[in-house]
Chains A and B, each alone.
Chain A
Amino acid sequence: MTNHSLPPAWADRLLGWLCPPQLLEELIGDLHEQFADDVVRVGEQKARQRYVLEVLKFCRPYFLKRRAADLTRQVAHPVEDTYHQSTSYPPFFLLHPDMLRNYLKIAFRTLWRSKGYTAINVVGLSVAFCVCTFLFLMVYRQLTFDSFHRDGERIFQTYRFSNYPDKPKRTAGMPMPFTPALKTEFPEIEAAARLLSSGSLIEYKGRLFEKALRYTDADFLTVFSFPMIRGDRAVALRDLSSIVLSETTAKAIFGTENPIGKTLLLGTEGNQQRYNVTGIMADAPDNSSIDFDVLIRIENSPTYKESKDQWDAFSHPVFLKLAPGVDQTSLENRLKTFTQKYFTSDIDGLKKKGAKPDERGDLYAIRLQKLANVHFDTDIAGSGAPVAIVYALSGIGIFILLIACINFINLSIARSFTRAREVGVRKSLGALKKQLFMQIWGESTLICFVGFLVGSLLAYLLVPVFNAQFNAKINLIYLLKPGVIVGILAMFILVTLVAGGYPSWQMAKFNTVEVLKGKVAIKRPGFLRNSLIVTQFTISCLLTCCTIFAIQQVNFLRTMPLGFEKEQVISIPVGNKYNGRQLLQRLRNKLANDPTILAISGSGVNLGRGKDGSVSRSTMGFTYKEKEISTDWLLVDYDYLKTLNIKLLAGREFSPAYPSDSLDRVIITESMAKMIGEKDPVGQFFQTDSAGTKYQIIGLIPDYHLYSLQNEKAPITMHLSNTESISYIFVRVTPQSLNSSMDKLKGIWSEIAPGADFIASFLDKNIDALYRNEESISRVFSFASGIAILLSCLGLFAVALMVIEQRTKEIGVRKVLGASIPGIVLLLSQDFVKLVLIALAIASPLAWFFMQKWLDSYSYRITISLWVFVGVGASAILIALATVSFHSIKAALMNPVKSLRSE
């Protein structure tokens, strides 16, 4: 056969990989011979298949083992290769499976012998891994907010920038005619959607549902890419009578029926409108800033008609999608003339206040915020998390991981002396530095791996608890994304490198002769260890100080006098089903003769955050005696002051005895009086616009906090109306009947408002709910600092134990020479106390700096007290002492005869 075909070359290469080189020639020879035979007998194609199969069959332990041994021999003795190649079977292997088995055996023996240290390491690492998983998942959730929309980088929210003389202000509310004008004048805006939030009652076949309603434009479906489950995205909101439902809403209303084309009734009784279901959209994920149950066209909004040409009524956010390639800044610049043209009254108002243009030359401007940033922009989003929290959380996560790593390093270094002899023996038997490093590092990796496994298990088990405790909404599913998995692996390898690499490198460096003689000394003993302990305690003290300040601030906000009495008041959200005013009247009639009910009133604005979770605000701006006035415009009912126990400073409260009270009489707060510049405002008149009602001030009350304490007390004007709807009912009860009256109200509620939800809550609970954000921050902080301290102490405990073990003999000698027990305890403890003191000295200024920054965002804040640092320092020292003294006292009490005889 001269012109014979050849088998696939890649198969030969594979074989070269699989088999020991000294066997390769004969094996390939045999294979080729068989192949040549096969070509003749069964044809070339079949022969090739058989050939590949044969080669694959060489993947056997017999060959692989020998191949691996060869490779390691080459790495270990590259120079001696010629010698080994002459003998057909190599005499010994360094990374031979047997050797690996030996490493593993030794590893398990050492780990088992020092169960305590192994346990400390595993516990520390697994707790750290678990906590880090939680914290990083929280961060991940925050960072991926709104990231699921297609073309997200082209989606923006508009906001108004006003450069007030005191400080610039940014607000998201836009006037109704803004969006249509914008779309006609700027063709580069691909789509723009207004989003007016409301709630609505939906009726289908006699059943009623209360759902979150969003009035919007047809462009909503273009701007955002929530998946459309049924219906056509292009036409779903084309008609005014179209309605799009979220998946859950559709399920709740229609069950298994196909909702498309069905008719729903929206609105309160007697005022219902018909809508045709044209689309079903997937629910907004929980990391979406925009949520909805029901979407209809904004033209259906009850206020649309009057506000559609009003450029000074700001009611809703607007989202834009720009055409590809449109630059944000250049569009913002072109918006300047647009702003000059339409927002004249705002600009005039600002000028009157003496506002100056900012560095971009804007006195007043419409600007764009990227959708990705909206969640972190608390000015614009209203809710959302400050980005600082995300940094804080990731920082804490890294800190905790660092503390666990430090424990690991310290323990490994301290333990390395006990294994010095093994290293010496191995070295004298020919082990290489690289090999020793791999062995010891492998052992650390083993511990890390166990810690990692236990940590993952812990995380898996504790997720529900964590979510419930910190209201975190995290989900371990996120961990299964490829990017995240790579991240976790990278983190794991980094941890093993940091925590295991350094000690292994140190050990591999031991001098064989000295080690075997029993002398091991590292230059400047313990310097590294001490600085690591200082780092740990610095972190712990820092976290603790921050926690204490955060808790103090939250408590301060909670207990601060609000200007009204929040105790014993029940707040009932009315909902959309019934008219609030009628319900209030019915409730008054029912409870008129009840001795446990002290007062009943209503309002348009809830105090604190009730169970309905909504926050509303209505403000009014007008000119009074050449002055620009802006005030909260609060709708109240009779007995509002009595119910909240607000004392009148002058004048009188609204009373049914004066019929005109419900038309043009108002009660104002002190700061409102100051703003209009009247010393004695009662009896004065003002007009909100030149042609409108002339309001007379009939009462003056002290300032009180209508909204969160994060803001200053704003001027408030209260008015009474027979037509505007009341959204909340307040009931003051006697202190003795706190619990029973809640039940009683519930009973009465079901009589006067059948079918409506009763979601009342006490006002003091509502106020607490306002600080939920702060509270959850302070809780995460306390949790993290607790873990940090715990881990630090765990490490200190182990290090102290080891140091004292090494000094057993010294203690024996000291005792024999007459040292007292307290003296010895002091001697052993003072080193550690010194470290904690240094840590404290580093941590305090840092904590002071960070907390000063955080507290600056509050109008009402605590002052940072030096005593906190003293307290934290004292307790840190005490904890450290307690940890160390457990061992030091034991060592000091030991009989010197025992310790001195030990050799």
Chain B
Amino acid sequence: MEIFDNLLMGLSIAITPINLMYLLIGASIGMMIGAIPGFGPSAGIAILLPLTFSMSPISAVMMLAAIYYGAMFGGTITAILLNTPGDSTTVASTFDGFPLAQRGRAGPALVMQACASFVGGTIGVILITLLAPIFSMVTRSFGPPEFFLLCVMGLLTLVALMSGNWILGLISALIGFALGTVGVDLETGHQRFTFGAVELIGGIHFIPVAIGLFGIGELFYAFYNGAHKSGSGGIIQYQNESRFWPTKQDLIDCKYTMPRNSILGFVIGIIPGAGATIASLMAYSLERSLSKNPEKFGMGEMRGLVAPESANNAASSGAMVPLLTLGIPGSASTAVLLAAFLMWGLRPGPLLMEQNPEFAWGLISSMYLGNMALLVLSVFAIPLFVYIIKAPYRILAPLVLVVCTLGTFSVNASIVETFIMLAAGIVGFYMKRLGFSPAAVVLALVLGPMAEESLRQTLLISRGSFDIFFIRQASVYILVFFAAIILGGAFLNSQRRRDKLKENTV
């Protein structure tokens, strides 16, 4: 079969000692960079891009791709251990990842996230190998109307986050939306809420707000709770740490979670824009609605961590589809990769896979190897991270604060963002104490501007008519899918209620 010939050819190119070395270096650096709050995949690639100028294109792309998914892998480590998502794609992983660590299951949580990332990444590459040209049809049918509908689906997951105290949840989401409107208005070019500061023209970025609200806010809150007074650990408990590996029950619980959310993540990841973020959120809410005990989500449910992790790693593979098949960058990270393609004299586009098969297939096969390398690396890395976190919190906390602050600064060399982060830290502390939802703030901050822009683009195109959502084929499919999910969810809910009622009466 042609695909396997291609894959074999790709493997023969990828498996040379020097390339494997670059792959390993890239994966370890990526993992390390991802674990530093502030440094996401795109920052990692951008920082190391100049190092690759002197390499051959295939070695360079293998290393950069390894950094890319290595950072996806590593970003979750801080999300679980410190409640600090390094990138918008790992926000959903904090929902259950951090509670798991707090309950003394940091080890199993990290191992399961490594497995989920591996499964997600690998299923993603398999789908690229077999079906990349078919999946590129998804990209070909996605315009602003479809993108808007997808954003709305992402926003609906906010409702799940508000289940506790709806008025505080609503306020949190509105704060996120309000922050999202800062900056130059895309359509008219007018400045909104910038107070004349040039640093705010580009808007308020996700990273300083998320690191502040989650990471720094958590630090202040832990001190408020006296976590620094205990001898070791602090926010995370270790009395159960004899159980480093996940239990059999964890694996049984997650046996369908990984594959189904990997496929979901991959398909959504193909769509240029916020693929991986929306994918991880939808995976989380899908898993929550399929669960028999949705009330356990957010309290440290393994499936609540595994679902978004499989999805966001599969989505990062998915983002390679438009890049390889159409030359379209779907995310900040793939945009930097695209710039690198041009620099190496490649012409990204539909003909890339025909004209440079050794490059395209070399990259694809390196992704198989990279995912395996990451799984192996994490076996060594996880105990190390767990060990670091065992240091007394009163010593760890100032150091974490320093790394968060300087990590935030480094992304854009911006002191304004550093202060946004510190201010968000104070706000996050109060939000946590008063029962607001920091997660709703950052998700509204990410999804709000996307939804607003795509809706306004849609209405510009349709000259103000909403009919466009019912005329375009792809929109109709999404709406139907939408309706099916809502109806299905409602059906499951009523079914569950009836079951419970039965149990109670019996």
Q: Are A and B bound to each other?
A: no
Interface residues of B (CB under 8 A from A): none
Interface residues of A (CB under 8 A from B): none
